[in-house]
Amino acid sequence: MERLILHYDMDAFYASIEIRDKPYLKNEAVIVGQKVITTCNYEARRYGLHSAMSVVNAKKLCPYGVYLPVNKEKYIKEANRIKKLILKLSSKVEFIALDEGFIDISDYKDKYKNLNSFAKKFIDRIFIHTGLSCSVGIGYNKLSAKLASEINKPNGHYIIRNQEEYKLYVYDKDIKILPGVGKKTEEVLRNKGINKVSEILSYNLLELQGFFGYIKGQLIYEYALGIDYRKISVDSQHKSIGNEITYNNLITDISLIYKNLDEIFNETFKRFKEKNWYGKTVTIKIRYSDRTTVTRSKTSEKHLNKKEDFKNIYEKIKEDLIIKNKVLLLGVSISNIIEENRQLSFDSIGKLKKKKLIKELKDKINYYEDIFK
Ligand code: TTP
Ligand code: MG
C-alpha cells in the first residue's frame, strides 16, 4: 500500500460516556436525547432504536430503556481528551467530528508490519485511557478507511488494503454505504434501477455527470471504484514541523550528540521560518540503542516566530534532559502552530485582517454549534 489511512469512530459515543460514568447502566438499553434520540447504545439498537427517532416512539419499542438528557459539555471534554491522546500518536490527523477522525499512518508502515495488531493496539490504547470503545478502519485512502471502520463496529476493526479489496467489498452493498449518497442522490439512483454499488458502473462517467453534474457525477463514479485522492487536512493547531535523523552507527560521544541535536534544531527552524508560521511548542526526541524513546516538550504561553525565542525553549529542554550515550535517533520539532499570529492586538492589525479574523472565529463557533444541533 502506498498510503495508509486510519479512520476511528467512537462507539455510541454519548451513550458510552454515560455508561462509563454510571456503571450500573452497563447491561441496560441507554438512550441519550431530549425529544429526539441523539444516540443510543447497541443494546437499545436491538429494539430498533436509532438516532433521530422521536423519544415517544422509542418508548413504545423500548419502554424499559434508560432515557438520559444530553450533557454536551461532558462530551466535548471527553472528545478533547481523545484528540489529545491521538495527537500523541501522530500530528497528521484530521478530526472530522467530535468522535471520529482520519490519521495518516503511512509512516508506521515499516514499524508495524502487522496492521491487525496495530489496529487492535489503537483500540486498546483508547480504551485504557478513556474507558470507551471505538472502531477502526485502515485503508489505502480516506474512503476505504471510513467504510472499513463500519464493518466490525462496535469495538472492532477491518482493513481494506487496496482497490481490488475495496471493489470486492462494496460491489453487492447498498448504494447508501457510499459517502456522498444522501437522500437526493439516492432517489435519482434508485429511479434508474441502481441499488447496489456495482450497478453504478453500468453507467459511464459522462452519463453519471449528466445525472448529477460534473463534480458530483465524478465523485459517485470514483467512489464506486474506490478512488479517493483527498488528503488529510491537518488543522493548523495540530500542525507540526520537525526533523529526525536515525544514525547508522550509534553515537556515544555526548558532545557530538549535542552538536547533532543543534544542527537538527537549526534545520527544523529553517523549514519553520520558510512557512512564515507561528508556534508554541518545541519537542526533542531521543531514541537509545535499547529502543527506548524519550520525548521532552516545552510550550510557550504565546505564539512565537523568532529564532532566539525558540532557541531559548530548546536550550531549556536540553538543560532538563539527562542524555545518556548510545543514541540511535535524534529529532527536534516545533508544534502548536498557527499560520498568522492571532495574539496580535486588534489595534495593531489592519481593518481587513480584523474582519477576516472575526469571520474565522464566527465560522469556528458555528462549526461547533452545528455539531450539537
Ligand atoms: P456517530 O458516530 O454517528 O454515532 P455514535 O458514536 O453514537 O454511534 P456509532 O457507534 O454508530 O458510531 O455520532 C457521534 C455522536 O454525535 C453521537 O454519540 C451523538 C452525536 N450525534 C448528534 O449530536 N447528532 C446526530 O445527528 C448524530 C447522528 C450524532
Ligand atoms: Mg461514533
- Residue 38 CA, ligand 1 centroid: distance in Å: 7
Q: How far apart are CA 226 and CA 165, in angstroms?
A: 9
In this prediction, residue 349 carries a pLDDT of: 39
Q: Confidence class of residue 107 from pLDDT cuts 50, 70 and 90?
A: confident
Instruction: Enumerate residues lining ligand 1, CB below 6 A.
Output: 9-14, 38-39, 51, 98-100, 153-154, 372
In this prediction, residue 334 carries a pLDDT of: 95
Q: How far apart are CA 245 and CA 265, in angstroms?
A: 11
Residues in contact with 351: Cβ distance below 8 Å, sequence separation at least 6, in sequence order: none
- With cell 462507539, the residue in question is 11
pLDDT per position as a tens digit, 20-65? 999 999 999 999 999 999 999 999 999 999 999 999 999 999 999 9
Q: State which of 10, 17, 39 you would mutate to test the pocket of ligand 1, scoring each by most atoms of that ligand within 8 A of its C-beta.
A: 39
- Residue 8 CA, ligand 2 centroid: distance in Å: 8
Who has greater pLDDT, 313 or 367? 313
In this prediction, residue 193 carries a pLDDT of: 96
Residue nearest to atom 15 of ligand 1 (CA): 13
Residues in contact with 323: Cβ distance below 8 Å, sequence separation at least 6, in sequence order: 254, 257, 258, 286
pTM over cut 0.85: no
Label residue 151 exposed, middle or buried (CB < 10 Å: 0-12, 13-18, 19+). middle
Catalytic positions, written as ranges: 100
Residue nearest to atom 4 of ligand 1 (CA): 12
Average pLDDT score over the chain: 89
Residue nearest to atom 29 of ligand 1 (CA): 38
Cell readout for 287 is 531514541
Who has greater pLDDT, 353 or 122? 122
- Residue 305 CA, ligand 2 centroid: distance in Å: 38
Residue 355 has pLDDT above 90, yes or no: no
Residue 354 has pLDDT above 70, yes or no: no
In this prediction, residue 88 carries a pLDDT of: 84
Residue 284 has pLDDT above 60, yes or no: yes
Segment 163-170 shows an average pLDDT of 98
